[in-house]
Amino acid sequence: MRFPRVLAAGLLVLAATACGSSEADSGSGTLRIGVIGSGVGNKLTRAVGFLDQRGELLPELKAAGITKIKVATFPNGPDLNQALAGGSLDIGQYGDTPALIGRGQGLPTRLLSLNSVRLDAAIVAKKDGGPASLKDLEGKRIGVQTGSYIHRYLLGALEQAGVKPKEIIHMYTPAIIAALEKNSIDAGGLVSADQAAQEKKGYKSIDIASRDHPDLLGTSVTVVTEKYLAGHKDIVQVWQKAETKAVQAAKADWPGYTAYVAKTGGYAADISIKTTLKDQLPDEPFPAEGLKLLEGTKAFLVQQALIKKGYTLDSWLAPGARP
């Protein structure tokens, strides 16, 4: 089953766009990193952000000639893809789906690591007369950030249920929440933290990836541009070492890490504690479970013709990224 109309907005456009970072920064010792975020702008997220907050990330990266980090925050992966395409970023940390689609459409990136695995998502229904199951989404209107791993989960769940919605609308999370409150959509696809926040307000999750579709859980990847890699070959091992140290630091101070996630994500502390799980942070760059999830996502995107030309994960890996 194909969903040809739902992808018009939000997918990759390989346009030369600049996003608050200049070409002059490249090669000057400044590493330009793009991340997804909605809480505190232009701050690193996840474990590497926690390590940076402790003042321990930059010393790790100095071995690759990096003396400064410049961060740009994006609302979703397709926007980050545009910045990578425009040359205003060196590294991107974002969901697997936009990263895979970008590579499949010719975006010159190489895979450094899987920085998160088992990322959860859910389909949350409107309150008044809302759907009670996936089957009830037949002919209904659903909001989701198109091109995101949440979108991939939504499409996969609908396909497995044999359900065809009336319309899937590209919306950022705040717009989805507002539309649910106004009953202008029947359901919305949300990450687990936003799902938990909505459930506190009385909304119902009719499908949860971790509970109902564990094969559709997401991953988050770290990619580097081929241009940056050509002049900074040491970045592969140096970054992976820093990321591993970051995970170790996060797991050793879990209360401090969940507090950091709450701050950078803009969530209440109890939401962050509930939805931030240790097993989502891999102890190695390419855990077997994460690679399996990534392969499954890639196969689905090829089937849906969102990746026009298939490729192997090995061909995407940065040289020396995996022993």
Q: Which two tokens stand for residue 310?
A: 């298939």
Within a domain: 229: yes
- 114 within a domain of the structure (yes/no): yes
- Asked if residue 8 belongs to a domain, the reply is no
Within a domain: 15: no
- Read off the pLDDT band of 137 (50, 70, 90): very high
| Average of per-residue pLDDT values in the chain | 91
Structural domain includes residue 273: yes
Same domain, 70 and 87: yes
- Of 75-89, 193-207, 235-249, 297-311, which range is least confident? 297-311
Residue 68's φ and ψ, nearest 5 degrees, are -155, 145
Residue 44 CB neighbour total at 10 angstroms: 23
151-185 per-position pLDDT tens digit: 999 999 999 999 999 999 999 999 999 999 999 99
**Cβ atoms 195, 205 nearer than 8 A:** yes
84 and 163 belong to one structural domain: no
CATH code assigned at 171: 3.40.190.10
Q: What is the pLDDT of residue 309?
A: 82
Domain final residue pick, 187, 216, 245: 216
Indicate the number of domains in the chain: 2
Is residue 249 predicted with pLDDT exceeding 90?
yes
Instruction: Please identify which residue in the block is written with the tokens 């241009």.
Output: 227
Q: Which domain holds residue 149?
A: 121-216
197 in any annotated domain:
yes
pLDDT above 70 for 199: yes
Residue among 285, 289, 290, 288 at smallest CA distance from 240:
285
**Residue 193: inside a domain:** yes
The predicted model scores a pTM of 0.90
Do 53 and 137 reside in the same domain of the chain?
Answer: no
Pair 260, 208 in one domain: no
My answer on whether 211 and 236 are in the same domain is no
Model confidence at 131: pLDDT above 80: yes
| Residue 169 sits in the same domain as residue 185 | yes
Inter-residue contact 147 to 101 (CB < 8 Å): yes
- CA 217 vs CA 2, 55, 99, 130, 225: distances in Å: 20, 32, 15, 24, 26
The C-alpha atoms of residue 138 and residue 207 are separated, in whole angstroms, by 14
- What's the mean pLDDT in 1-17? 41
Instruction: Considering only residues 39 and 60, tell me which one the structure prediction assigns the higher pLDDT.
Output: 60
